[in-house]
A and B are shown apart, each in its own frame.
Chain A
Amino acid sequence: MLTDITIGQYFPGQSFLHRMDPRMKIGLLFMWIVAIFVFDSQVSYGIFTASAILLALCSRVPILTLAKSIKPLWMILVFTLLIHMCGTPGEVWFHIFVFDFTREGFIQGFHICLRLALLIFLSSLLTFTTSPLELTDAMESLLSPFKCIGLPAHELAMMMSIALRFVPTLIEETDKIMKAQQSRGVNFESGNVLKRLSNLVPILVPLFISAFRRADELAMAMEARCYRGGEGRTRMKELKIRTLDYGACAGTVLLIAVLVVLKVEGI
């Protein structure tokens, strides 16, 4: 019952977004985020929204799946909108209790919400089109310049990838332990919150013990295979920036150039 959980929200595919170098994707996402904060005219928001939708269509990830990524945020969005509506002075639309809801407030709130939604949408587009493994490799590569100030880039990436490797194994194990406990009469499905939480203890304790044992054995297996940290290590698969990535980069630069021109022209 637990075994059908997927790690992250990777949606396998062959689109150009899937095939891009993960480092370039992360870099470009960063540029887009900065741009969304810098260029705040109505026209630029229009351009951002249009390009985000275009990218989503290109990725071939179902729009509904993508839209769900914003779902956890809707409360914050609505709240932001309301706060702005009653907090901004201007032409009063309607009046509830002691609050005045203004037109200007609505426009400003809408902008902020759109900005937030775009940020989330674009970031999830990254995680939808990049497997966790690629993300880990990209992280190691992007953080490696900071090694000189003592950031353990390789170790962090190795930890992440081992964690990812063991997610299915530990899920399987949790399932086994739960069944073993259920067969002895533990009820995980009913009772109040406190009762249910206390029922988790007999699952977590054996799970932790076995995870520590696994870690011990894994460390030994890694040592037996000559693992001695990131130094002097080569990789079989290396990330490569290709024409496709330069193309995407050029596209982003062009977009930003257009936005700069618009801003300078004051449109």
Chain B
Amino acid sequence: MTVHGDGYMSFIEIKDLTHIYHAGQENAKEALSKVSINVEKGEFVAVLGENGCGKSTLAKHINALLLPTDGCCIVDGMDTNDVTKVWDIRQQVGMVFQNPDNQIIASVVEEDVAFGPENLGIPRDEIKKRVDEALKAVDMERYRAFAPHLLSGGQKQRVAIAGALAMHTKCLVLDEPTAMLDPKGRSEVMSAVKKLNKEQGITIIYITHFMEEAAEADRVIVMEKGKIFAEGKPQEIFARVDDLKRLRLDVPLASAIAWNLKKQGIYIPDGIVQEEELVEALCQLK
């Protein structure tokens, strides 16, 4: 993590964030304890961790859906504790949730995409323009007049992404967007997210269970029991196969093979995440 002096702020700054559900009651449960993360503009960050490790709780803080019990979360210079800034923060940070059915509000795709801008009070012509752009960005223009229940899971998630884009968000927080999808839907969503990150410079915070998806990120954060366990480039993280196994997390297949080969005494360079890299390394063997 970089430390900044002279007033420079990262796009998202989370400092000593603690969240306790039902604070002060008998069933109080600490979901996050003293988590600090900085995310720069245009970064693609993947968050990994077991069920119940606080990933979703963390995601909801970035959008001010949950407020910190202690510590703070600052998005683009705005503190989520500041009630007057809540709507500005939510406009900046779009959320995509796990269940595609439970986040589509309207009965027609284009009206659902328009829901966000309508809430922001944008004039009608501007909304139409934004809806067109957003649907195009996720390659869903053909389905604008469809009813959501006729779409596949991957298509529904792309509509949800378009709904956030139409609000002109600068950052997308995706909370296990592919957990309920088939492999085809997963790759659709992933390539849409990557495209937005590369082409429009949208900051991505991608919570997932799939290591292959995390391997595509610029940076991976591994969480354990409400704390940050490890943080670094995918190559660095996936080289720590022992640690990840202890956390009951998988590693990408390529990393796992490389690690096993290395254990057998075969020379394989460190930091293999993608299949192509593994193939390359194997071909270099003599």
Contact = CB atoms under 8 A, between A and B. Distances in A.
Contacts, number: 90
B111 interface: yes
Contacts of A234: 117-118, 121-124, 127
Interface string B64-83: 01000000000000000000
B150 to A, nearest CB: 9
Contacts of A184: none
Nearest to A158: B105
B90 A226 contact: yes
Interface stretch (B36-44, B94-102, B205-213): B94-102
Contacts of A214: 99, 101-102
Given A224-B65, A225-B90, A228-B119, A235 B105 contact: no
Contacts of A222: 105, 115
A218 B105 contact: yes
Interface in A177-233: 213-214, 217-218, 220-228, 232-233
Given A168-B147, A214-B101, A227-B115, A235 B124 contact: yes
B167 A225 contact: yes
Interface centre among B60, B63, B97, B103 (most CB of A within 10 A): B103
Nearest to B164: A225
B127 A220 contact: no
Nearest to A171: B149
A203 B149 CA distance: 21
Nearest to B102: A217
A209 B150 CA distance: 24
A107 to B, nearest CB: 48
B101 A224 contact: no
Nearest to A220: B65
Nearest to A227: B119
Interface string B145-175: 0011100000000001001100100000000
Contact of B108 (A133, A162, A168): A133
A170 to B, nearest CB: 10
A141 interface: no
A237 interface: yes
A142 to B, nearest CB: 20
A165 B105 contact: yes
B120 A165 contact: no
A213 B99 CA distance: 11
Interface residues of B, number: 41
B118 A236 contact: yes
B116 interface: yes
B91 interface: yes
Interface residues of A, number: 28
B102 A218 contact: yes
Q: Is the interface of B mostly helix, strand, loop or mixed?
A: helix
Contacts of B63: 224
Interface centre among A133, A165, A225 (most CB of B within 10 A): A225
A162 B105 CA distance: 6
Interface in B151-201: 160, 163-164, 167
Contacts of B87: 226, 228
Given A221-B102, A224-B95, A225-B164, A235 B65 contact: no
B103 A217 contact: yes
Nearest to B90: A226
A228 B83 CA distance: 14
A12 B95 CA distance: 35
Contacts of B164: 225
A169 B60 CA distance: 26
B260 interface: no
B207 to A, nearest CB: 14
A225 B148 CA distance: 18
A168 B148 CA distance: 10
B97 A225 contact: no
Interface in A138-196: 161-162, 164-165, 168-169, 172
Given A169-B149, A225-B163, A225-B167, A233 B105 contact: no
Interface string A64-102: 000000000000000000000000000000000000000
A227 B115 CA distance: 8
Contacts of A238: 124
B184 to A, nearest CB: 20
Contacts of A221: 95, 97, 102-103, 105, 160
B103 A218 contact: yes
A226 B108 CA distance: 19
A218 B94 CA distance: 15
A189 B157 CA distance: 37
B107 A235 contact: no
Interface string B125-145: 001100100000000000000
8 interchain residue pairs of minimum CB distance: A221-B103, A217-B102, A236-B114, A224-B95, A168-B149, A226-B119, A225-B116, A165-B107
14 contacts: A133-B107, A161-B106, A162-B105, A165-B104, A214-B102, A220-B97, A221-B95, A223-B65, A225-B115, A226-B91, A226-B167, A234-B123, A234-B127, A235-B118
